[in-house]
Amino acid sequence: MTNLEPGVDSQQTPDPVQHPPIAQDALQQPATQINQTQPKPARNVLALVALITSILGFIFACIPGALIVGWILLPIGFILAIVSLFLKGRGKALGVAGLVISVVGTIVAAVVFFAVIATSFNDAFGDGETTVSEAPAESGVDTDSEALTSEAGTRENPVPLGTTISNDDWTVVVNSYAVDGNALVAANDFNEAPPAGSHFEVANYTVTYTGEESSYGAEVQISVVTGSGNVVNSFDQFVVLDDSMGLDELFNGASATGSVAFLVPDGEPTVVRVNPGILSDDLFVATQ
């Protein structure tokens, strides 16, 4: 028989664990204060490095003398930017910016590279600016005027026959031009008669080599342009003339004179286009 203390209910089991009371202000703590205790995500350092590398590569890519540095930094910046986009952390916008700058910088570097190559090639192999140094006295053209070198020589304003055209390597003079050259072509039995609706025109010219070492007169290109804008070359119709321009090698100061024929449609006015070298500017000479 169990002895119970007076005033204690036998059905009531005492709670062995006593829980401390919860403070009311803790229950009322705003959620924002709880979130502030969470750690912030780390900054994406790789994205910042990619951006800086891309910017430096872009800058060096714009400098011809330091172009190679830009070519090294831009791919590095591109790869770092791609990798940074897959990493966790703040600052992925920097990675995107680095990616865009590296791509744009590569395009700029390519443009600068080809410009440098073109300039170097022109300096090494170019023939210099094509100029007109004199014209026949009977042509009425003032050889000392600025207009002769800056305006004359275009298709709309060709220089007269006998004008000296020159650059660093060649001096060219179109001596004469036969608008009706059928008889000159027919003088060689090997040549065929022109097709109906066309005729032959013949230009006679002299080339003088003024460059270093040696070259061939074939480097000077002579063609004609019709009134409708079509270009006619001497090789369009194979013709052998009695005084065809030869293929002799010329050293400094040597000259060669010869003729070329062009098959031109009837009724088309023409002008002669002279190109004294592969990289030289064209000059136009009147045919009459």
The residue ranges of DSSP E strands in the chain, in sequence order, are 131-134, 164-166, 170-178, 198-209, 214-216, 220-226, 231-233, 249-251, 255-265, 270-276, 283-286
Residues 120-137: tens digit of each pLDDT? 665 555 555 778 876 555
Q: What pLDDT is stored for residue 21 in this prediction?
A: 57
Task: Assign 143 a pLDDT band (cuts: 50, 70, 90).
Answer: very low
3-class SS at 62?
A: coil
Q: Packing angle between helix 92-125 and helix 45-61, nearest 10 degrees?
A: 20
| Higher pLDDT pick, 209 / 12 | 209
Helix (H) or strand (E) holding 153: none
CA distance 198 to 239: 14
pTM over 0.85: no
Tell me if 128 sits within 8 A of 83, measured CB to CB.
no
| Higher pLDDT pick, 59 / 88 | 59
pLDDT at 146 over 50: no
Q: What pLDDT is stored for residue 109 in this prediction?
A: 84
Q: What percent of the chain has pLDDT over 90?
A: 38
Residues 169-188: tens digit of each pLDDT? 999 999 999 999 999 999 99
Tell me if 43 sits within 8 A of 84, measured CB to CB.
no
Tell me if 85 sits within 8 A of 41, measured CB to CB.
no
CA distance 142 to 137: 8
CA distance 173 to 250: 16
Helix then strand count (H, E) for the chain reads 7, 11
| Higher pLDDT pick, 118 / 243 | 243
Tokens of residue 255, six digits: 């000259």
Q: What pLDDT is stored for residue 210 in this prediction?
A: 92
Instruction: Give the strand pairing for 198-209 and 170-178.
Output: antiparallel
Task: Assign 145 a pLDDT band (cuts: 50, 70, 90).
Answer: very low
